[in-house]
Each structure stands twice: as structure tokens, then as C-alpha cells.
Amino acid sequence: MKTANELYLEFKAATDAYLDKVAALSQAKINTVPFEGSWTAAQVTEHLSKSDNAMIAALNGPVQPTNRPPDAGVAKLQEIFLDFSTKLPAPEFIIPAEGNFDKDSLISTFKAGREQLGEAIKTLDLTATCHMPIFGKPTRLELITFVIFHTLRHTNQVKKICEKLVAA
């Protein structure tokens, strides 16, 4: 099982890599649909922020002791979220809005949520089990791992969006 510090460093690296991609886009490009059926980079960022808010609520919500290895679900999360050949449906509550977003405000909101997640990694008992309706009863460690894998998945998506926008 990874330590909280190792998990934090992975989380920070994934967050920084995502921010590097998004911050490099102009206000116009961040809101440009790269190809039919795709979200814009701004929508991907809002999606991540909405997901992060749900994770923050679950991490800081009621917990109970865990009666299994705290990282038992990590391999399955990795298998699902790092398989970039599949398209995964987003739950309704984290689907981003249509329209244009202000880049600075969007990035600021994303960073604020990430600060809360980073603080959770550093201060909470990651072995505790929490309640997350769409995941059942994951540990905090599994939720943080989800955030990391989810971020890596969407970093790959934004990379493809950027490549499409540059080629256009």
C-alpha cells in the first residue's frame, strides 16, 4: 500500500500535468469543440471539478473502520480508467454544462478543489471506509486513487483535444 506522501506526490504530478495542458490553451481554444461528439477542454475541466467536489464530500463525510485491505479496489480502478481505448459514460451529476467558460475562473475553481483534495490526502486516515453512492463503500485511499486515474484519463483526452485544435 502506498503511503500518504507517495499518494500526494502522484496526485500533485497528475494535477500539474493536467493544468499544464489546459493553461496552455487560449480563452477561445479552451472553449472550442475539437471534433463532433467531443467536450471542449473547458468542459473537461468543469467535469473534473464537479467530480472532485463529490470526492471532497465523500472524503470528509462519515467513515467507518475498514475490514479489508484499504487498496483492494485500486487495481480495478487502474484497469478501467487507464484503458484509454474505451469511452466511459459520465454520471449525470458531473456532466459539464454547454457553452463558454471563463478560463481563469475555471482554472481557479479547479485549483481550489485540488487544494482541498491535497489537504485530505495529507490529513485524513486514508484507510477508513467512506460512503460514495456510485462506488459503494470505497476507502479514502481508493477515492484518491480514483481522482489520480481520472485526472490521467482526462489529461490524455485534453492532449488529444489540443492536438486536434493545433491541426485545425
- Here the CATH number for the domain that contains residue 85 is 1.20.120.450
Q: Which residues pair with 64 in a beta bridge?
A: 129
Contacts of 119 (CB under 8 A, 6+ apart): none
Which of 26, 161, 35, 47 is CA-nearest to residue 103? 26
- The pTM of the full predicted model, rounded to 2 decimals, is 0.96
Query: Is residue 168 pLDDT above 70, yes or no?
Result: no
pLDDT in tens, 71-128: 999 999 999 999 999 999 999 999 999 999 999 999 999 999 999 999 999 999 999 9
pLDDT of residue 27: 96
pLDDT in tens, 136-156: 899 999 999 999 999 999 999
Number of domains in the chain: 1
How confident is residue 133, by pLDDT bands cut at 50, 70 and 90? confident
Contacts of 160 (CB under 8 A, 6+ apart): 34
Contacts of 51 (CB under 8 A, 6+ apart): 94, 147, 150
Range of the domain at 92: 4-31+38-167
Asked if residue 134 lies in contact with residue 91, where contact means CB atoms within 8 angstroms, the answer is yes
Round to whole Å and give the CA distance between 115 and 100: 25
Helix axes 41-59, 140-167, angle to 10 degrees: 170
